[in-house]
Chain A
Amino acid sequence: MDSQPTDSQPLDSRHRYSSRQRTIRLAGGLALTLFGCVFFAVSQSQDEQNRGAAIAILAILGGLSWAGQGLRGHREGATFREEALPAGPPISAERTVAGLLAAWAVPGLGHWIIGRRAKAILFFATITTCFLLGVILAQGRNLSYERDSVYFLAYMFDAGQTALGWLLTRKLELTHKIPYLQLGFLYTAVACLLNLVAMMDFIATCTRNADTPPVTGGEEA
């Protein structure tokens, strides 16, 4: 693990943006942030429950991230870290597909299968906690496809937990006002979208390792 790249390593000139690229990122990021603020304000004035707040917050976060890249003058770091990461033993296509399905069903299980145990535990603990907090805040009323089908666009990325939650809470009716129902939706939806990030990281790890020649000597650590 000592040879792995960290944030403190100097940047290669390939990873730096030109002044035009920096300007585009900074302007685009600020525009996206502004859009998020306006969207939030409009949603707040039109809808008492402000159901568009989650989209506005995502736009603001994305905009800030892009503007930050423009200010710093280099990429987020993912790409150059990816290039410098040492590839492990190759992972077969079958294991990649099986791991992807496993990661879809249970957060972090894909990483566990290919031997990335620490990351698997991190993904599972974080995503499951966030998902459960959402269900608790909404008192189990946020997993109904009939009532809130639009949220299933996000829920579908965490199939196992959503299916289990739906099975356990499907008979609960919305009979009283739940104070933190919208926050419950937000937490659960964000947890499921974070599982998408974890799945993409799993694919990136498998792809990186697939490009390396086979190593004799058994399984990865």
Chain B
Amino acid sequence: MMLGALLGLVKLSEFLFLPPICLAIALVTSAAHREDLRDILRHAVRAWIVLVVGILLFMVLISYFFEWVLPG
């Protein structure tokens, strides 16, 4: 319930733009210093998931900070 309420604070329209840009960052940074395409893609998928989940968690954290910590 708590997590659902927190996630509700994050604007969906803002979140929708996050995965594509994270995918671009993950792909290009994973390609650096790698030559094998399969290795690049495997690392990029992992990096993409970490990026999206990490930023989403921080969005929730910041929303929580603004909604409950600051007003209190």
Residues of A within 8 A of B (CB): 1, 4, 6-7, 36-37, 40-41, 44, 57, 60-61, 64, 77-78, 81-82, 85, 116, 118-119, 122-123, 126-127, 129-130, 133, 137, 180, 183, 186-187, 190-191, 194, 197-198, 200-201, 204
Contacts and interface: CB of A to CB of B under 8 A. Distances in A.
B62 interface: yes
A201 B42 contact: no
Interface of B: 17, 20-21, 23-25, 27-29, 31-37, 39-40, 42-43, 50-51, 54-55, 58, 61-62, 65-66
18 contacts: A1-B36, A36-B58, A40-B62, A41-B65, A41-B66, A60-B58, A64-B54, A77-B33, A78-B33, A122-B40, A126-B27, A127-B28, A130-B20, A183-B17, A186-B21, A190-B24, A197-B29, A201-B32
A51 B60 CA distance: 19
- Provide the main secondary structure of the chain A interface: helix
A191 B35 contact: no
- Provide the main secondary structure of the chain B interface: helix
A78 B62 contact: no
- Among B23, B35, B51, the most chain A Cβ lie within 10 Å of the Cβ of B35
Nearest to A208: B33
B58 A37 contact: yes
Contacts of A122: 27-28, 31, 37, 40
Given A127-B28, A197-B32, A200-B32, A7 B40 contact: no
B28 A123 contact: yes
Contacts of B43: 7
Nearest to A2: B36
